[in-house]
């Protein structure tokens, strides 16, 4: 049996110092434009509301495909992220595009349910065509110290995903320390996560740069050991382009250029796209346009 009680330790002061170096970076001109376009193409455009309807999901899918048609040569977002019961709707709406459908599953966001229900949740999402599944870990079991339970659950869900890629949400805002984040990252990676993801977006704090750095370091160490790449997805609270660029710089300086691809990095966000678009237009024209020039769906 694997022992998950010992992960490499993390020094909080050092993590924050490293982030200070990243946020002091300055992106200008071509470098900024390149970063903005990259960020745009890495967004999982997300709606996860109790009030979601088919029509709302279709509107979001249209936004995903037509970010700002006035501007040619823009990438589309990477995926649209919805609840399992909207996967079919999203699949239909996105037909013909290269945009994936991602679905949260496993009794999102709390994860407080039985494995049977979680597996069924995943099965419905996958059967309906979700290319990506965003699961939540059982934080209660994790805090109880039942790490093998958490591991086994992730492994079971990975199996249920089949060919769909699995993103494992750690909900770092509920874990309490960087050491715990590191430990949860290691468990998720070893259990077969294709991506590790910070947050559901339902808990504050959601994604932060420091917590993302801790997770990137876990990905790095696993890559050193196995040569296997694992993706990263910060989610929640990333609503402006400047912050998004800082995340990308953090990825570049921690894991290198190979991770600067939507295959390995995603932003979970609902309002980031428009700010990135606005910055792209500003870079091109030299002036900021009104927010009303960018569609809100």
Name the site residues for other proteins (rule: CB under 8 A).
8-11, 13-15, 17-18, 24-32, 34-35, 38, 217, 220, 223-224, 227, 248, 252-253, 255-258, 260
Active site residue 197: yes
Catalytic residue among 44, 121, 134, 194: 134
Minimum distance, C-beta of residue 145 to other proteins, in the bound complex (Å): 19
Minimum distance, C-beta of residue 21 to other proteins, in the bound complex (Å): 8
> Is 15 or 90 the residue whose CB approaches other proteins more closely?
15
- In sequence order, what DSSP letters do the residues of the chain get, joined into one string? ----S------HHHHHHHHHHHHT----HHHHHHHHHHHHHTEEEE---TT--HHHHHHHHHHHH-S-TTSTTPPPPSEEEE-GGGHHHHHHHTTTSS-EEEEE-SSTTT--S-HHHHHHHHHHHHHTT-SEEEEE--HHHHHHT-HHHHHHHHHHHHHHHTTSEEEEE--GGGT-SHHHHHHHHHHHHHTT-SEEE---SSSSS---HHHHHHHHHHHHHHHHHH----EEE-BSS--SHHHHHHHHHHHHHHH-GGG-STTTB-EEESSHHHHHHHHHHHHHHSSPPPGGGS---
Catalytic residue among 197, 252, 262, 275: 197
Minimum distance, C-beta of residue 246 to other proteins, in the bound complex (Å): 13
> Is 37 or 141 the residue whose CB approaches other proteins more closely?
37
> Is 10 or 150 the residue whose CB approaches other proteins more closely?
10
> Is 117 or 228 the residue whose CB approaches other proteins more closely?
228
Catalytic residue among 91, 118, 167, 233: 233
Active site residue 32: no
Is 167:195 a contact under the CB 8 Å cutoff? yes
Task: Give 282: exposed, middle or buried? Use CB within 10 Å, 0-12, 13-18, 19+.
Answer: middle
Minimum distance, C-beta of residue 25 to other proteins, in the bound complex (Å): 6
> Is 29 or 163 the residue whose CB approaches other proteins more closely?
29
Minimum distance, C-beta of residue 108 to other proteins, in the bound complex (Å): 31
Active site residue 69: no
Active site residues: 134, 197, 233
């Amino acid at each position: 049996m694997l022992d998950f009680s010992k992960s490499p330790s993390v020094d909080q002061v050092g993590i924050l110092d490293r982030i200070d170096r990243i946020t002091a970076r300055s992106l200008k001109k071509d470098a900024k434009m390149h970063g903005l376009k990259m960020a745009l193409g890495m967004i999982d455009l997300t709606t996860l509301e109790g009030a979601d309807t088919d029509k709302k999901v279709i509107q979001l899918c249209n936004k995903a495909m037509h970010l700002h048609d006035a501007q040619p040569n823009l990438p589309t977002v990477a995926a649209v992220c919805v609840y399992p019961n909207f996967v079919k709707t999203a699949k239909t709406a996105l037909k013909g595009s290269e945009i994936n459908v991602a679905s949260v599953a496993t009794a999102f966001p709390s994860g407080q349910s039985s494995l049977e229900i979680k597996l069924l949740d995943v099965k419905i999402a996958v059967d309906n065509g979700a290319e990506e599944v965003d699961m939540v870990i059982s934080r209660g079991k994790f805090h109880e110290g039942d790490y093998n339970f958490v591991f086994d659950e992730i492994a079971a869900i990975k199996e249920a995903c089949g060919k769909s890629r699995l993103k494992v949400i750690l909900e770092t805002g509920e874990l309490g320390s960087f050491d715990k984040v590191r430990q949860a990252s290691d468990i998720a990676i070893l259990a077969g996560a294709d991506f590790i993801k910070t947050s559901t977006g339902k808990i504050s704090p959601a994604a932060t740069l420091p917590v993302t750095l801790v997770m990137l370091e876990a990905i790095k160490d696993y890559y050193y050991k196995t040569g296997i790449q694992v993706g990263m997805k910060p989610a929640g609270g990333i609503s402006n382009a400047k912050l998004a660029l800082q995340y990308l710089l953090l990825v570049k300086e921690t894991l290198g250029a190979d991770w600067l691809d939507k295959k390995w990095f995603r932003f979970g966000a609902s309002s980031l796209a428009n700010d990135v678009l606005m910055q792209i237009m500003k870079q091109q024209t030299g002036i900021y346009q009104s927010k009303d020039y960018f569609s809100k769906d």
